[in-house]
Structure 1
Amino acid sequence: MDTRTFGFFSLLLITTLVNAEDPYHFFEWKVTYGTMSPLGVPQQVILINNEFPGPVINCTSNNNIVVNVFNNLDEPFLLTWNGVQHRKNSWVDGTPGTMCPIQPGTNFTYKFQVKDQIGSYYYFPTTALHKAAGGIGIIQVHSRPLIPVPFDNPADEFAVVVGDWFKKGHKSMKNLLDSGKSIGRPDGLHINGKSAQVGAPVEPSWTFEAGKTYRFRFCNTGMRTSVNFRFQDHDMKLVELEGSHLMQNDYMSMDLHTGQCMSVLVTADQPPKDYYLVVSSRFTKQPLTTVATIRYKGSNSPALPELPPPPPENTAGIAWSINQFRSYRWNLTASAARPNPQGSYHYGQINITRTIKLVNSRSYVDGKLRFAFNGVSHSDPKTPLKLLEYFGVADKEFKYDSIPDEPPPDVEKNVKIAPNVLNATYRNFVEIIFENRENTIQSYHLDGYSFFAVAIEPGRWAPEKRKNYNLEDAVSRHNVAVFPGCWAAVMLTLDNAGMWSLRSEMWERFYLGQQLYISVLSPERSLRDEYSLPETTQLCGIVANLPKPQGYV
């Protein structure tokens, strides 16, 4: 650890002791290339402390997290913390619109608080196509000891990263996108960086003891593919979804769309032997499947080759998945951290002040593939949007509200490429409609917030569709899937000042423009509402040599 880092950590420790802050967790991560074989073929991957998946961040609600990231790659690098809300602190959100990238051979220290949150989240790289190579891990946020959890403590809990994988390599994939082409279909699926087939001799990934119950935290960190997971001969009880405790239902299989996380409980109530965890692709032309092995302690009997069947595909599969979405209900009686306690219980009684309807599109601009919202395909300026705004020079590189709140008649025609920033009013209650007119599934995420996913239905959205919204116990979450020919509606209060990324979680689409930023400015510019620019923030672009503005008070 260098002298500056040691001094920074020492200052934080002293501050913590003096002010009796919530506990701190310190991490030092070295990001490097390494060789692994997620699909059985050696290839270059991105490791954190020589691991893929990377280290698990295991913490408790309101803990402070300090991660010193050393970039030993040959390219600039950033990490984002998917689902962690960073209250008042988009400065460390880790997206190209909020932060300057960590240059090769340098380090940067992220500091954030998991304020009023519990649940399962993950981190991943947002620069270039690094996500395709790794740099990914799970964040586990537990309830504080005095807060009761609506299920008994499990015997153990397991972090499970699942997703699609490509053999091309992240630089080759980036070159394809830069040349105007698609990255194509994935080559396979992995479970925690490994892929296995039925009957192959492998060591078990997890060990069960008969009669005990285990918590599995699943996150789909893939590039584009929805998956379904299921346990051979074992039911699952869904207990948590993206930071919310749910009314507990039993399922035989669960859909998990790109960017989503959930927790299930599995009880070891079957005859002692080996069993498979099965992960298969959803809504793909060429089905993909992989397995991992669970072994009952003391058993030496192999798993049977007959796997539990996947859900239906095509139209029947869409209906199946929508019905599963509708079965999710927020447990309003569970004691838990809630980022917005006022809106948590009464969101259905708040007047909507703005409706933003977003239609995704796939088209070609000057012969090159682009993706867009409402006819605008986002491009990052050389200087992060948040820094341009803070330094008062936003007009030099972007214009607010380049995207309309309503899609133009022909969203695939006359697509323009520009920085895509919505100017939003602090504390307004907004409704966002995602309408998917394509024949492929979509998955969207909003940084800085949880929203209430109140409806998913086939067809086109219209105001009269609001009568079908769940206005009582919709799940508070930060991702929503939109099925082919369907729409999804979410509602939220814009009470977290900052510059926040709203994006496709299908990374080819993100990289080629299907994203935007929501600028939420507090009129008072007060520390009560948003932190000032941290002293350790790296500056770049046109603000690199400008005098820093006076901080908030």
Structure 2
Amino acid sequence: MNNRLRFVLAILLAIPCFFVNGEDPYLFHEWKVTYGTLSPLGVPQKVILINDQFPGPRINGTSNNNIVVNVFNQLDEPLLFTWNGVQHRKNSWQDGTPGTMCPIMPGQNFTYRFQVKDQIGSYYYFPTTALHRAAGGYGALNVHSRALIPVPFDNPADEYNVFVGDWYNKGHKTLKKILDGGRTIGRPDGIIINGKSAKVGEAKEPLFTMEAGKTYRYRFCNLGMRSSVNIRFQGHPMKLVELEGSHTVQNIYDSLDLHVGQCFSVLVTADQEPKDYYLVVSSRFLKQALSSVAIIRYANGKGPASPELPTPPPENTEGIAWSMNQFRSFRWNLTASAARPNPQGSYHYGQINITRTIKIFNSKSQVDGKLRYGLNGISHTDGETPLKLVEYFGATDKAFKYDLMADEAPADATKLTITANVKNATYRNFVEIIFENHEKTIRTYHLDGYSFFAVAVEPGRWSPEKRKNYNLVDGLSRNNIQVYPNSWAAIMLTFDNAGMWNLRSEMWEKTYLGEQLYFSVLSPSRSLRDEYNIPDNHPLCGIVKGMPMPAPYKA
């Protein structure tokens, strides 16, 4: 019996242990994670490949599918993958962050098992260990609506995943060494589109091909390290239809800003003269602008792309105002269905009473002569044992303290304490989180395990009277929010998903140096109704290794 057959049989035997909805289909993937030499910006360097691909293999599923991914780590360092945007209902065991899982050691494998329960949308996976994200190892995770659920646009002729973002010519180990030494990694070296870069006029193979008269869905995600980008097609407007799992009001845009960690879907119709056109991706809010292009080719088209590129949006203060106004134009399609047949707008989040306000202030400082970032005076650091395991085994007194970070910024948030940053969140409470950015660079924040309602982004400082400006009707339900320089953003959500969930900056330099925290959301009933037990294959490490297993949750 070969290894692949053994793997499939083992998974099939284990299925009843992990999922209640046995009738939902399963998707099986086997990944070999290795290094390979590629030249994203023309300079040969080590890149993380999955099954010899960068970007990695696409996971293409449907709402409620059960996804099984057997990861073989053939790198020389520990490895974890997170499934960005997947909520993992009741199952933070599979979230793939250093606070929830022991890493996959070199030469070992681990099988992730999770369900995309009641979700649709454009998501992705990436490595959360060290600075691996700077070396690739990411790919698409698309979740389609079930066949009987109406989608508010016609089926496209095809779907294309496009990963954009900044890139560094220094390898990920060099970048990590720079950060460990207390310095910033500095400006990126360029912009890549699906792992490649090009300049106007260079002879390159087309990124994608379109047939005249047909409409295509492009799913864009920004997997860079620090740079917002602007996306525009030469001669072709974009119709925004989905953003991080929400169907949007279908506005038309000539260009769209996409901030680090964010994804959206647009429809593009091939209604121009059949020839080549450029897809243009350029940086936003950097002192030294970066850009790259890719060729979109018409089938049977004749003629090269024009060297005249579409005009980018403004920069500096005017550019921030432009981008902020574009954010306000993104609205929830209240009449469209998402993963369930009921309309998105049937959930009236604006009528729910807020039970808690958490105001988060980001800052940077020098600690013992080294650069650190933090939230409300706490710069997070990972311990030898994942926080979720420590909590599950009842050993928190040996590893961390809850709520060292207050719900308000301290008087001097520039003074940072390096420690594990874990906040208690009351199960099923509806909360408001305010992000306030006093710095000159943009931030983006992502919350694992949830979608939240992005109700406001404004310049200046937040105060309670600013709530009158909230969008309490059709703000998007999403998992990532940008906070512009010297501005604030407000989100709302219900902490109804038990587990240990990471709130982090999506600028990975800042995440690595402490700009993150974990919300501990515990159900008082300790019931399988609210949270799954630790999986049988979940590795144990650190202080919990060798401890007796806790009593399992019961139905």
**SS of corresponding position for 1:276:** strand
From 127, 131, 156, the counterpart of 1:129: 131
1-structure distance, mates of 2:531, 2:107: 31
| The one of 268, 272, 275 aligned to 1:273 | 275
Assess, with a 3 A threshold, how the Cα gap between structure 1 residues 537 and 339 changes in structure 2: closer, same or farther: farther
Using the size of structure 1 for normalisation, the TM-score is 0.98
Deviation larger for 25-34 or 298-307: 298-307
1:493 aligns with 2:494: yes
How far does residue 41 in structure 1 lie from its aligned partner after superposition?
A: 1.4
Structure 2: distance between partners of 1:422 and 1:15: 30
CA contact (8 A) 1:226 1:283 kept: yes
1:160 matched residue in structure 2: 162
How do 1:138-153 and structure 2 match up within 5 A?
A: 138-153=140-155
Aligned to 2:441: 440
TM-aligned CA deviation for residue 181 of structure 1: 0.6
What does 1:93-112 correspond to in 2, within 5 Å? Answer: 93-112=95-114
Structure 1 residue 518 corresponds to structure 2 residue 529: no
Alignment of 1:106-505 (within 5 A): 106-337=108-339, 345-412=347-414, 414-505=415-506
3-state SS in 2 of match to 1:248: coil
How many pairs does the alignment contain?
A: 552
Q: Is the 8 A contact 1:116 1:339 kept in 2?
A: no
Fraction of identical pairs, as percent: 73
SS of 1:175 mapped into structure 2: helix
Q: Are the counterparts in 1 of residues 150 and 341 from structure 2 also a CA contact under 8 Å? A: no
Which has the higher mean CA deviation after the structures are superposed, 330-339 or 436-445? 330-339
1:302-352 alpha-carbon deviations (Å, 9 max, x no partner): 000000011100110010011000001101111111699999621111111
Contact 1:115 1:339 in 2 (8 A): no
User: Which secondary structure state, in structure 1, belongs to the residue aligned with residue 251 of structure 2?
Assistant: strand
1:45-86 deviation digits (Å, cap 9, x = unpaired):
000000000000000000000000000000000000000000
Structure 2 gaps of 5+ residues are none
Q: 1:92, 1:549 → 2: CA distance? A: 19
Query: Using a 3 Å threshold, how does the CA distance of structure 1 residues 26 and 314 change in structure 2: closer, same or farther?
Result: same
Displacement after TM superposition at 1:176 (Å): 0.4
Shift in Å, 1:143: 0.2
**One-letter code aligned to 2:394:** G
2:541 counterpart letter in structure 1? C
Deviation at 1:224, TM superposition (A): 0.6
Q: Is the 8 A contact 1:443 1:504 kept in 2?
A: yes
SS in 2 for 1:281: strand
Instruction: Go from structure 1 to structure 2 and tell me whether the alpha carbon gap of 1:435 and 1:548 turns closer, same or farther (over 3 Å shift).
Output: same
Match of 1:33, SS state, is strand
Give 1:381 deviation, angstroms. Answer: 1.1
Contact 1:345 1:472 in 2 (8 A): no
Residues in 1 aligned to 2:464 and 2:164: alpha-carbon distance in whole angstroms: 37
- Which residue is equivalent to 2:553? 552
Query: CA 1:336/1:201 → structure 2, altered by over 3 Å: closer, same or farther?
Result: same
1:395 Cα deviation after fit: 1.3
8 Å CA contact 1:209, 1:297 repeated in 2: yes
Structure 1 counterpart of 2:489, which letter?
A
Secondary structure of the structure 2 residue equivalent to 1:240: strand
Q: Which 5+ residue runs of structure 1 have no aligned equivalent?
A: none
Change over 3 Å in CA distance of 1:234–1:19 after alignment to 2: closer
Segment of structure 1 superposing worse, 4-13 or 82-91: 4-13
Q: Distance in 2 between matches of 1:49 and 1:42?
A: 19
Query: Counterpart amino acid of 1:199?
Result: G
Please tell me whether the aligned partners of residues 335 and 343 of structure 2 are also in contact (alpha carbons under 8 angstroms). no
Alpha-carbon distance, 1:38 to partner: 0.6
With over 3 angstroms needed to count, the CA separation of the structure-2 counterparts of 1:464 and 1:15, relative to structure 1, is closer
Are 1:348 and 1:472, in contact at CA under 8 Å, matched by a contact in 2? yes
1:83/1:360 CA distance change after superposition, 3 Å:
same
Indicate if the aligned counterparts of 1:229 and 1:254 stay in contact, CA closer than 8 A: yes
**For residues 453-503 of structure 1, what are the alpha-carbon distances to aligned partners after superposition, in whole Å with 9 as ceiling and x for unaligned?**
000000000000000000001000000000001000000000000000000
RMSD: 1.7
